Amino acid sequence: MKIVVDWDLCESNAVCVARAPEVFEIDENEQLVVKIEEPGEELRAKVEAAVQGCPRRAISLAQG
Protein backbone atom coordinates (compact mmCIF):
# COMPACT_ATOMS: atom_id res chain seq x y z
CA MET A 1 0.00 0.00 0.00
CA LYS A 2 1.06 3.55 -0.71
CA ILE A 3 0.11 6.57 1.38
CA VAL A 4 -1.33 9.57 -0.45
CA VAL A 5 -1.80 12.89 1.39
CA ASP A 6 -3.94 15.71 0.01
CA TRP A 7 -1.74 18.58 1.12
CA ASP A 8 -4.48 21.15 0.49
CA LEU A 9 -6.62 19.39 3.08
CA CYS A 10 -4.02 18.48 5.73
CA GLU A 11 -4.13 20.87 8.69
CA SER A 12 -1.70 18.99 10.94
CA ASN A 13 -4.32 17.80 13.40
CA ALA A 14 -1.95 14.92 14.17
CA VAL A 15 -4.59 12.24 14.65
CA CYS A 16 -2.61 10.06 12.22
CA VAL A 17 0.52 10.55 14.33
CA ALA A 18 -1.31 9.17 17.36
CA ARG A 19 -2.68 6.19 15.45
CA ALA A 20 0.38 5.26 13.40
CA PRO A 21 3.46 6.92 14.91
CA GLU A 22 5.74 4.58 12.90
CA VAL A 23 4.47 6.18 9.70
CA PHE A 24 3.48 9.78 10.46
CA GLU A 25 5.23 12.61 12.24
CA ILE A 26 4.77 16.35 12.68
CA ASP A 27 7.99 18.32 12.13
CA GLU A 28 9.15 21.47 13.93
CA ASN A 29 7.26 23.65 11.44
CA GLU A 30 4.09 21.73 12.25
CA GLN A 31 4.03 20.11 8.83
CA LEU A 32 3.01 16.50 8.46
CA VAL A 33 5.83 14.19 7.40
CA VAL A 34 5.17 10.74 5.98
CA LYS A 35 8.13 8.75 7.26
CA ILE A 36 7.27 5.57 5.37
CA GLU A 37 5.47 6.19 2.10
CA GLU A 38 4.96 2.50 1.38
CA PRO A 39 4.53 0.83 4.77
CA GLY A 40 4.52 -2.95 5.07
CA GLU A 41 1.43 -5.07 5.65
CA GLU A 42 2.25 -5.36 9.38
CA LEU A 43 1.30 -1.68 9.69
CA ARG A 44 -1.94 -1.90 7.70
CA ALA A 45 -4.31 -1.85 10.70
CA LYS A 46 -2.64 1.23 12.17
CA VAL A 47 -2.51 3.05 8.84
CA GLU A 48 -6.16 2.31 8.15
CA ALA A 49 -7.05 3.68 11.59
CA ALA A 50 -5.09 6.82 10.69
CA VAL A 51 -6.94 7.18 7.37
CA GLN A 52 -10.30 6.69 9.11
CA GLY A 53 -9.45 9.07 11.93
CA CYS A 54 -8.22 12.01 9.86
CA PRO A 55 -10.85 14.67 10.54
CA ARG A 56 -10.19 16.36 7.19
CA ARG A 57 -10.05 13.03 5.31
CA ALA A 58 -6.72 14.16 3.88
CA ILE A 59 -5.11 10.68 3.76
CA SER A 60 -5.88 7.86 1.38
CA LEU A 61 -4.28 4.57 0.37
CA ALA A 62 -3.26 3.59 -3.14
CA GLN A 63 -2.12 0.21 -4.40
CA GLY A 64 1.59 -0.09 -4.42
Partner 1 sequence: MTNVATDRPPPEVDVCDPEFYRAGPWEGYAKLRENTPVAWDGRHNIWVLSKFADVVYASTHADLFCSSRGIRPYQSFDLSLIGLDDPRHSQQRRLINKGFTPRMVRNLEPRMRQITTEVLDRIADWGECDFVADIAVHVPLIVIAELMGLPTEDRERLWHWSDDMMGGDRPPVEGDIHIAKAAKAFGEYLEYVSELVDERRAAYRHAKEIENRGGEPPALPEDLITALVGAHEEGLFEETADLARDEFTMFLVLVVVAGNETTRNAMSGAMKTFSDHPDEWQKLVANPELWSTAADEIVRWVSPVLSFVRTATRDTELSGQKIAEGERVMMLYQSANRDADAFDAPDEFRVDREPNNHVGFGVGPHFCLGANLARLEIRIVFEEIAKRFPDMRIKPGTSPVYGHSMLVHGIESLPVVYTPEGSRS
Shortest separation between residue 11's beta carbon and partner 1, angstroms: 6
Distances (CA, A) of 48 to 18, 26, 30, 39, 52: 12, 18, 22, 11, 6
Site residue total, partner 1 (CB under 8 A): 14
Q: Phi and psi dihedrals of 42, rounded to 5?
A: -65, -20
Residue from 1, 4, 5, 14 touching partner 1 (CB under 8 A): that is 14
Shortest separation between residue 2's beta carbon and partner 1, angstroms: 21
Does 61 sit near partner 1 (CB under 8 A)? no
Give bridge partners of residue 32 from the DSSP assignment.
26
